[in-house]
A and B are shown apart, each in its own frame.
Chain A
Amino acid sequence: MNFFENIRVAFRGLKSNKLRSALTMLGIIIGVGAVIVMVAIGQGAKASVTNQIQGLGSNLIMVSPGRSNTGGVRGGAGSMSNISMDDVSAIQTNADAVQAVAPVANTQAQVVLGSQNTATQIIGTTPSYAQVRNQPVAMGRFISDKDLKDNAKVAVVGTTVVQDLMGSANANIVGQIIKINRVPFQVIGVLQSKGSSGANNNDDQIIVPLTTAQTRLIGNKSVRTVYVEAKSSDQMNTAYVEIEQILRHRHKLTSSAADDFSITSQTDILSTAEGVTQSLTLLLSGIAAISLLVGGIGIMNIMLVSVTERTREIGIRKAIGAKRRTIMFQFLIEAVVLSALGGLLGILFGFGGSSLLNRFAGMTSQMSASSVVMAFIFSAAIGIIFGVFPAQKASKLDPIEALRYE
């Protein structure tokens, strides 16, 4: 008896009890569907987080003041920064692995245009910020070196700010005079929209020259963060070490003293975030796998019932010459057909489910081919694992007793 005939016999067995087969399959359908949707959600979360982190800029390193344990007093937030503009120029000129440097001083401010006003984040920085933070303008121009030298009162605004001040994100704001903390600034450009990442709206900000921000809005010469772009991803580590050495040297730290600044590289953030989303994916697929397991137990249950019900059929088949192996195979294939068919339907449901999530729940779930293949193989394997016991039970039946079974 060949394989295809076995499958045909299995299908007949399943067809003769359609409702029961369908209900049994439902367990596997839900399990596989859940695995696929959950993995898609996890993968989607991972992709969007990675995307956002990469959207920060490329080969990005962030240097911020802090960890200043000198004198036993830890500099809290808002305390005077210990990174000076001279430190920034030193990094710019002395670190070979560094491509560009963008110091930032930022503050919250009230912004007014005519009768409209909004509170937003003001970022004082240098022209290289556009490159380092991968933040091009959609309209007008970015701040220039001349603006920086002149303490020019010019501003590049985010689309949310445009929306808040003009009533529409698409309104032409370039050329208008806005008041930031009562200081008039001319709008010279609009930032390209980056969308929001969680609580952090990248479009709700205004960029002004660093010098202007320091003198007109903040009132001191401090630098809150220095964004550094390494020359390439291979040079991230070199850049990191160079920056650390330059700053330690300039801050005159002894070899035993801890850094009085902190350096974070994009790769660090990325790997942390990947770790988090990885555990999320694992957790979700773990839950889904349990439902698949429950589906498998359902199959075993039904197959056991089926073996008992069909004892006489098994007796007849044996009396006519079916070997143990043949009977075993028949029932095993039935279980595998149940679970594999359930797996296929589950994959379809998973497809449907994750595209519904994308469309209506605003999620960015991502189906991966590997999760589909895995889910299918896994469901077929479940058929084998949970089918073996009932199939063995069937194959071991004694023909005489099976024939006598009513």
Chain B
Amino acid sequence: MIKLTNIVKIYKTGDIELRALDGVDLSVDKGEFVAIMGPSGSGKSTAMNILGCLDKASAGEYFLDDLKISEASDNQLAEIRNRKIGFVFQSFNLLPRTSALENVELPMLYSGVGARERKEKALKALSAVGLADRVHHKPNELSGGQQQRVAIARSLVNNPLIIMADEPTGNLDSKSSTEIMSIFQQLNEMGISVILVTHEPDIAKFSKRIVHFKDGLIDSDEIVRNRSIAQGARLNLELTNRVEAAGR
């Protein structure tokens, strides 16, 4: 489903060129759960931004769901971000002064879902992540774990193929982290692929595959042997047709 070939990303600051990614090859299939690890500055976030269609590579080819992302226009990228990818950030990135419900409705606003259906789906997604009683709270009235769950609900509402999360537990305590990982694991069970960046080995153990970055290159890529299962509330979510298509 995802295929990166010889991806290079060069940052230019003044005269200095920095090769943040130096020829990365990576394939991720439907239904995978990948954790990206590696030391700070090794290019993890750069890779995630390219994978998430937020940024374009300087060179190399990127295919997502048979679309050639490396040659897509800005508008096409926006559409792909909107419909195929759910992005979860370390710093939550919810709109301030805006209720949880409206934050979750936002991606549907841009994909042209009608107001009634939008509200219905947003409420479902919020109750799936256990926030049915917090829908009218603003981000500053929610705890970090709750904010991240709103962000996950937001990433879900357009039925993405894949959820990408850059250090989603980086700002959370261990209990909230486990809850978040439990949600990811359950979403993965439902057929949604997950790629997340973390520097915590404990968090990485919840995934099925760990990719190590070092100096802009993939250093190691291995299957997780004794995978941890996160204990958390059951996700009460029915995903539509895309799940069946995902198989497995």
Contact = CB atoms under 8 A, between A and B. Distances in A.
Nearest to B80: A321
A322 to B, nearest CB: 5
Contact of A320 (B75, B82, B112, B115): B82
Interface stretch (A222-230, A266-274, A297-305, A310-318): A310-318
Interface residues of B, number: 28
Contact of B110 (A12, A322, A400, A403): A322
Interface stretch (B91-99, B185-193, B201-209, B229-237): B91-99
Contacts of A320: 81-82, 87, 106-107, 110, 154
Contact of B106 (A317, A324, A403): A317
A75 to B, nearest CB: 84
B4 to A, nearest CB: 18
B111 interface: yes
Nearest to A399: B54
Contacts of B81: 318-321
A324 B78 CA distance: 9
B54 A321 contact: no
B97 A16 contact: yes
B61 interface: no
A365 B239 CA distance: 67
Contacts of B87: 319-320
A16 B138 CA distance: 13
A326 B110 contact: yes
- Looking at B55, B98, B110, which has the most chain A CB atoms within 10 Å of its CB? B110
Interface string A1-30: 110010000001000100000000000000
B223 interface: no
B74 A321 contact: no
B109 A5 contact: yes
A67 interface: no
Contact of B93 (A316, A322, A325, A326): A316
B78 A321 contact: yes
B200 interface: no
Chain A residues touching B, range: 20 to 34
A321 B97 contact: no
A400 B78 contact: no
Given A1-B110, A1-B112, A317-B106, A403 B75 contact: no
A393 interface: no
A325 B110 CA distance: 11
Contacts of A16: 97
Nearest to B91: A403
Chain A contact residues, majority secondary structure? helix
Interface in A320-355: 320-326
Given A1-B109, A320-B110, A326-B110, A403 B93 contact: yes
Contacts of A319: 52, 54, 81, 87, 93
Contacts of B82: 320-321
A347 B75 CA distance: 40
B83 interface: yes
Given A313-B95, A400-B49, A322 B78 contact: yes
A320 B83 CA distance: 9
A11 to B, nearest CB: 13
Contacts of A316: 93-95
Interface of B: 49, 52, 54-55, 74-75, 78-79, 81-83, 87, 89, 93-98, 106-107, 109-112, 115, 154, 158
Given A315-B93, A321-B79, A321-B111, 11 more contacts: A5-B109, A12-B98, A317-B106, A318-B81, A320-B82, A320-B106, A320-B154, A322-B78, A323-B74, A323-B79, A326-B110
Interface of A: 1-2, 5, 12, 16, 312-313, 315-326, 399-400, 403
